[in-house]
Structure 1
């Protein structure tokens, strides 16, 4: 089986399978388990992530994923860039104020490339989602804030 923990996904995983879902049943270890989605019908009610491209203002390009959501809001899309060194950058941090100091050196280098544009791949008949990221986002007293 190709189950993984969401935080263990690597660039090769996304290159091979463009859409993953969270199978919330007795077959999984916990709620962080993801599985490749091969047919859209197999997970009508499950949360899914979809392979996405991220491009910095400097032209740098990265592979990552978005939680597929039609709203386009960062708090629902939870964008993530996967890096060659095995680390990742998550652009939505919920109620925790993010700090660039907690990221790897390769991840910290992304700060020079803001803003990032992103676009999801239109896989399994899912419409693409696109937008722009100005930094790392978090929720502070009912207000979405950003640190670049």
Structure 2
């Protein structure tokens, strides 16, 4: 797990993450206040039995997961391949730019304008994280 703390990400900034996907099982990028308070859980999944080729979006408040949204469509991430994904948000929603430019939205269930915790979980590699 890679954890970035005390690095403020706020509206209207854009977080861009580049890396290489793991061989299997997918990965997650999490934005929030800490590991128990995640406003956006972004989780591409490759070989999960029930979620083959999907992206799961969710949030976690006080250690309790919310209702997840599962996106099943033409897959935008592939095992062993480089990726670039962008994140912006308002107090109403997150806007996620997938590797091919496809936009995806998810509600900002925290209603916040600023977050200071980003963490990555997975066997893949992060090449860079930047906030513009």
Taking structure 2 as the reference length, the TM-score comes to 0.30
Taking structure 1 as the reference length, the TM-score comes to 0.28
- Which structure has the bigger radius of gyration? 1
Which structure shows the higher helix fraction? 1
Which structure shows the higher strand fraction? 2
